[in-house]
Amino acid sequence: MSELEISNITKDYGATRALHPVSVNVEQGEFVTILGPSGCGKSTLLRILMGIARPSAGEIRLAGARIDPLPPEARDIAMVFQSYALFPHMSVGKNLAFGLRMKNVPKPERARRIEHALEICNLTGLVERMPRQLSGGQQQRVALARAIVMQPQLLLFDEPLSNLDAKLRDTLRQELVDLHRRIGATSIYVTHDQAEAMAMSDRIVVMDGGRVVEVGTPLDLYRAPTRAFTAGFLGQTNLITADADGDRARLPWGQIVVLSAPAKGTVRVSVRPETIAIQQDEAGVGTVTSVSFMGAHALYTVGIAGTTLKVSQAGTESLIAAGNRVSLAFNGPLHLLVERKLQEAA
Amino acid sequence: MQAMLRDPKVQLALLLLPGVGYLLVFFGGPLVSALIGSLRLDDSSFTLQWYERIFTRATMLRGLKTSIYYGVAPVFVSLVVSVPLALLIRQSFWGRKLFNGLYKLPMAVPGIIVALMVIILAERGGFIDRVIAPFGLSLPKLVRDEWGIGVILASVWKQIPFMTLIITSAFAGIPEDIRHAARSLGASRLSTFVFVEVPLAMPGITAAILLTFIGSMGSYAIPDIVGPPSPRPLSVLMIFEFNEGRFAQVYAMGMVLSLFAVAVLLAYYALTANIGVSRTKGDE
């Protein structure tokens, strides 16, 4: 039994369906990110988990007990908001004490937990401050402390870093990862930022158009996505149509490649730019149309058989100038995309 | 002349003139002249006798109490109606748009019309009395009654829309996330309302209280028409003294009323000084 079981949750607003049946299981202590573009239904799902929106159908179990009919205050869930949502009329200490007071936690226990939360969120010394006297990063840390002080069964994060500037975002992201490792709370993190999702998560739930597209570890989803949407959303990729026969396939320009699984007929594969080896070759079929040197790697655009491919070359000593002919080699077997998504991805 | 205009100090004074000058001439001027007038005898000598009369004469003292009563009582009644009304308007219900437009109408009705309306409706032998008479019922004395129920009714009728309008926007100004945060931290709807929404709406609520209090404490038409013949509030007594030609007395009474208004205003600032919804967005 998983700690959190979301089964066939749907949400309809009148005639429009915001969530198609969504089922996700989250294990105890796991950090799961729900990743998707705006309007993909991730926020709706979060509101349903929190209890401020009711699902149209389906059920949610937390630690075995059904929670979907319960109001927010009866769920053992705490949330960190994008807008921080601190109580502006209460000091940091009172913000942290609010939930404990509401849940009738005895006073000595309250003080102990607040002390601990302040310490692990680097807020010691700010307990008397009002939220308006804090910087954005400090405010978000208070919001985080206010959530973890509840020691909830489930922690929710709604794009908590997107109101912060880039540098602070990186710092706080690292702090969040460290914090999760220390307290091990089961967490669901909602974001549209794929870098954030990959850096923080145990698993990622990719959503699009109110559906779960794919679920997997960051490494699996990046290396071997089974959907074109996942491939395109998590970093850069090349989608190539190939003609498969067994575990071999012929690319449009005649090159034969190895597939990760046997297939027959027309298939599509996703190839990451960094898995293609590029070599200057007067007899090659590709032509470099542009090259951008990014420092750690060089990014080439290669025109080949009427399509363009992105190729990334790391640790290079010299660049291949635009206009030169090149040959490409594919390292390792190519991963097939699932057919069903062919039309949708087009 | 040209050189003088380039002096930043002169420029500053000129720029401030339309605002500060207006206040000085049309607000400060009358206030100061009323203060001086209230401290003078006919032969221009200094006196405190006009103030002494307010705080010693029985009619005046009762007038002062009545003024405060006519200011405070309607505010309480209005508040009890306006807060739930403001919460109701926030919900969506059938006919909300129509209601939203209609409830503001009383604001446009002058006090004297409201007073007459209360007389027509609520006096013994008035409209309501005649409607309920066939059922063997009759209205208690509501107009020109000892407790000033008629005055309170009329003031309340006029105040509720204004109060509701301000309180509605005070509640609407609270970000939804803050309410949701409170709920997710274990607060029920009621606790969220009491511990989060009311404190955050307090600046708006106290502003509404302040403005309606000052308005009804100083109003003349309503207590004069629907109030009891005795006691009369200071505002009504002022007109009486004015007609008697005792201007110095009128000034003194005006000063006392203004003093009360200022006291309430200061209390308002003290109450709301600690509440600030504004957030500074900066980085470390």
pLDDT confidence tier of residue B282, bands split at 50, 70 and 90: very low
The architecture (CATH level 2) of A237-345 comes to Beta Barrel (2.40)
What's the CA gap between A212 and A9, in Å, rounded?
A: 11
Task: Report how far apart, in Å, the C-alpha atoms of A43 and of each of A82, A148, A164, A207 are.
Answer: 11, 21, 19, 11
How far away is chain A from the Cα of B181, in angstroms, using its nearest Cα? 6
Q: In the predicted model, is pLDDT for residue B40 greater than 70?
A: yes
Is the CB of A98 less than 8 angstroms away from the CB of B281? no
**What does the domain layout of chain A look like in residue ranges?**
4-229, 237-345
Backbone phi and psi for residue A139, each to the nearest 5 degrees, phi listed first: -60, -40
pLDDT confidence tier of residue A134, bands split at 50, 70 and 90: very high
Q: Tell me which CATH code domain B64-230 carries.
A: 1.10.3720.10
pLDDT of residue B1: 67
Count Cα atoms within 13 angstroms, Cβ side, for A155. 28
**What is the third-level CATH fold of A4-229?**
Rossmann fold (3.40.50)
What's the CA gap between A202 and B76, in Å, rounded?
A: 57
Count Cα atoms within 13 angstroms, Cβ side, for A295. 0
Is the CB of B177 less than 8 angstroms away from the CB of A88? no
pLDDT confidence tier of residue A129, bands split at 50, 70 and 90: very high
Is the CB of A81 less than 8 angstroms away from the CB of B181? yes
- Span A234-253, pLDDT tens digits: 988 999 989 988 888 989 88
Is the CB of B282 less than 8 angstroms away from the CB of A136? yes
Count Cα atoms within 13 angstroms, Cβ side, for B207. 15
pLDDT of residue A340: 53
- Which of B55, B75, B71, B61 lies closest to B223 in space, CA to CA? B71
Q: Would you state the structure tokens that stand for residue B91, as one six-digit string?
A: 């919900």
Question: Residue A10, by phi and psi: left (phi above 0), alpha (psi -120 to 50) or beta?
Answer: beta
Q: Taking chain A, what is the end-to-end CA distance rounded to the nearest angstrom?
A: 38
How far away is chain B from the Cα of A8, in angstroms, using its nearest Cα? 23
Task: Report how far apart, in Å, the C-alpha atoms of B101 and of each of A262, A304, B56, B154, B163 are.
Answer: 69, 67, 48, 21, 15
Task: Find the residue in B nearest to A167 (Cα).
Answer: B283
Is 0.95 topped by the overall pTM? no
- Span A144-198, pLDDT tens digits: 999 999 999 999 999 998 888 888 888 888 888 888 888 888 999 999 999 899 9
What's the CA gap between B209 and B76, in Å, rounded?
A: 9
The verdict on A81 touching B (C-beta cutoff 8 Å) is yes
Task: Find the residue in A nearest to B283 (Cα).
Answer: A135
Q: Which of residues 126-185 of A touch B (CB under 8 A)?
A: 130-139, 146, 150, 163-165, 168
Is the CB of A73 less than 8 angstroms away from the CB of B184? yes
Of B183, B196, B278, the CB nearest to A73: B183
pLDDT of residue B27: 87
- Span B64-121, pLDDT tens digits: 899 989 989 999 999 999 999 988 888 878 888 888 888 888 888 888 899 999 889 8
The verdict on A54 touching B (C-beta cutoff 8 Å) is no
Q: In the predicted model, is pLDDT for residue A335 greater than 70?
A: yes
Q: How, if at all, do strands A256-271 and A276-280 pair?
A: unpaired
Question: Residue A288, by phi and psi: left (phi above 0), alpha (psi -120 to 50) or beta?
Answer: beta
pLDDT confidence tier of residue B275, bands split at 50, 70 and 90: low
Angle between helices A107-120 and A92-102 (to 10 degrees): 130
Mean pLDDT of B174-181: 93
Backbone phi and psi for residue A271, each to the nearest 5 degrees, phi listed first: -125, 120
Q: How, if at all, do strands A31-35 and A203-208 pair?
A: parallel
Q: What is the count of residue pairs from A and B with beta carbons less than 8 Å apart?
A: 98
ipTM for this prediction: 0.83
pLDDT confidence tier of residue A9, bands split at 50, 70 and 90: very high
Residues in contact with A276: Cβ distance below 8 Å, sequence separation at least 6, in sequence order: A238, A309, A311, A312, A328, A329, A330, A331
**What does the domain layout of chain B look like in residue ranges?**
64-230
pLDDT of residue B111: 87
Mean pLDDT of A33-42: 91
Task: Report how far apart, in Å, the C-alpha atoms of B58 and of each of A72, B54, B55, B63, B249 are.
Answer: 59, 8, 8, 8, 15
pLDDT of residue A230: 92
Task: Report how far apart, in Å, the C-alpha atoms of A122 and of each of A119, A125, A164, B194 are.
Answer: 5, 9, 17, 31
